[in-house]
Structure 1
Amino acid sequence: MRVHIEICRAIMALMCVSATTVALAQDDAGRAGTTTASSALPPAADASDKSAKAAARALTKRVARVLSRTRGLDSSRVLVRVRDGIVTLSGVVPDSGQATLAVSAAQQVPGVRAVRNRLRVNTQSG
């Protein structure tokens, strides 16, 4: 009976140490700028999430480059965001024609599935 109690105490001590270690690891991950939720993901899910983010960043750069090179378009105040191949254009353009031009140019970029137009037209001059 005495051995059984000692074994239970040892198991409880190991559980406390284990819980403390996990809590400290999560706290360290939080300080390093990572979220504990992503740390809980299996490595394959984390890797696919990273590759999806990298693909979105690359598509964002391609769309922004196309917009900056589009004649007749002032893209200096246009923000490009991408998620799952869907491009969202937001910001301000001088007139509605430029908003249409920006959407059209973004649609031509390979990898773009759809374009959401959230551009605002600047009604103030000067």
Structure 2
Amino acid sequence: MDDWIGVINTSDLDVGEVVEITCHGEDLLLYRTPDGHCHAVTAYCPHLNNYMPNGLPPGTPPTELLKNDELHCPYHGWRFNTAGQCIGIPQGQRVPPAVRAGRPVLRRWAVREENGMLEIGQLLP
């Protein structure tokens, strides 16, 4: 079964850019890191389930969530790498066991570039 869904033209996502999309019934953030790879993750921080773009000042593009190849949640400062692992929690906040163990905590989806389109596939483990 082929469950890839085309979401945007590959040329519409520049390096360092983040766009909000809905795919597979989920609100996602689609972004391209400096190495040129594209990633799709849930738009909700696993810390308190806040919609990350809403934590930015009004009128600020979601691209501001990305610093190099890390997503930063503006609500409480959690940082995530492209593998979905939390790699930074500000001092004084409780560190959940899954984060302490280095497990991915940010839900991710497979992404591919096919015929000029960015396509979203299945949820990754």
- Normalising by structure 1, what TM-score? 0.26
More strand per residue? 2
Whose Rg is larger? 1
Under a length normalisation based on structure 2, what TM-score does the superposition of the two structures give?
0.27
Higher helix share: 1
